[in-house]
Amino acid sequence: MVTFVEGPVRVSVPATSANLGPGFDSLGLALDLRDELEAEVVADGLQVEVRGAGAEDVPRDESHLVVRAMRAAFEVMGAAPPGLRLRCRNVIPHARGLGSSSAAIVAGVSLARGLVAGGSLLVGDDALFDLAARLEGHPDNVAPAFFGGFTISGRDDDGFWSVASAVDPRVGTVVFVPPTPVSTEVARGLLPSGVPHADAAADAGRTALLVAALAGQPEQLWRATRDYLHQEYRRAAMPASLALVDELRADQVAAVVSGAGPTVLAFTDGPGAAPVSAERLLARSPEGWHAHHLAVDRDGIRSL
């Protein structure tokens, strides 16, 4: 018989940036911008409290994404809590290409496992990651949110998989977050059903180079982040974002659209390393946007 732990369980989960230019639906990077969540099994009902990003828009019922993820994990473990209380302190911007939905899903399945006595024995990390990726539909944001760092992920006949890859300690990021959101559905809807073979081949080469550049050759990041598969097709949905990418790349800054956008991510290679120092990049934030200097998060989901 499944039993539940007494008292609340708390987790922290990072923002993530997927694609990183050429690595469409396969590369992801965890960033040091974290949501904090707390859940507890109670006698009955469902209580959902939300503060911070998205607080005015997200539902407070069973349709809340964290709650849906928790229910899915409870079902896998054969658990049915009589009631739940959930508290969310959101920092990750919603619908901006920084993995807010993946963060919610990863937090939800992790909270549910933590609330079940012996939950880690019932569902191991690999199985929990696979569940989270299935709920999201693709693993590129889920993998770094769960495992931290830089991940290469995908899906085959055996399910979802993720492999960690090194990140040079000199590498950091600046993210430029615009005030207007763009939904992932809209951004994906602009992509063509096929691309020229030459573009696919060029993208494969840049993706391989990006893995090497992040691992220890950050001087190659500008060349490595050139995308041929998705960013240009999405220009109509986020013209200001692509204009900023163009402007930064013209100055040899490794800039990309973060995930499905519209946030723009630029790589730095350490403080004082002009022309890609964080200080210089922060000064280039468009009016009305929010810019953040973020380190690479190495932990992924963690208990508090």
* CA distance linking residue 106 with residue 125, whole number of Å: 11
Confidence of residue 275 (pLDDT cuts 50, 70, 90): low
Rounded to 10 degrees, what is the CA torsion of 210, 215, 219, 221?
20
Tokens standing for residue 208? 């391989």
pLDDT value for 274: 53
What is the predicted pLDDT for the residue at 189?
87
Q: Which helix (DSSP H) or strand (DSSP E) does residue 18 occupy?
A: strand 9-19
Is residue 189 annotated as involved in ligand binding?
Answer: no
Between CA 269 and CA 251 the distance in angstroms is: 15
Token pair for 57: 């828009």
Structure tokens at 265: 């991510």
pLDDT score at 1: 81
pLDDT digits (tens, 9 = 90+) for 28-68: 999 999 999 999 999 999 999 999 999 999 999 999 999 99
| Digit-coded pLDDT (tens) for 214-238 | 999 999 999 999 999 999 999 999 9
Q: Tell me: is residue 101 an annotated ligand-binding position.
A: yes
Q: Which CATH class is domain 172-294?
A: alpha beta
Q: 146: number of CA atoms within 13 Å, CB side?
A: 31
Q: Is 96 annotated as a binding residue?
A: yes
Q: Looking at residues 135-161, what average pLDDT do you find?
A: 96
60 labeled part of a ligand binding site: no
Cα separation, 188 vs 140, in Å, equals 14
3-state secondary structure of 282: helix
pTM of the model: 0.95
- pLDDT higher than 90, residue 277: no
Amino acid code (one letter) for 91:
V
pLDDT tens digits, one per residue of 239-274? 999 999 999 999 999 999 999 999 999 999 755 445
| CA distances from residue 288 to 62, 97, 142, 177, 178 in whole angstroms, order as listed | 34, 17, 29, 9, 7
pLDDT of 188:
83
Query: Could you please report the per-residue DSSP string of 212-245?
Result: HHHHH-GGGHHHHT--SSSTGGGGGG-HHHHHHH
The residues of the chain that CATH labels 3.30.70.890 are 172-294
Residue ranges, comma separated, of all CATH 3.30.230.10 domains in the chain are: 9-165
Q: What is the pLDDT of residues 99-136, one digit of tens each?
A: 999 999 999 999 999 999 999 999 999 999 999 999 99
Q: Write down the mean pLDDT value for the chain.
A: 95
Integer Cα distance of 2 and 84 in angstroms: 16
Residue 39 labelled as part of a binding site: no
Q: Please check if 293 is assigned to a binding site.
A: no
The annotation status of 102 as a binding-site residue, yes or no, is yes
Region 9-165: CATH code: 3.30.230.10
Pairwise CA distance, residues 143 & 282, whole Å? 28
Torsion of CA 111, 115, 119, 125, to 10 degrees: 10
Q: Is the pLDDT of residue 95 over 80?
A: yes
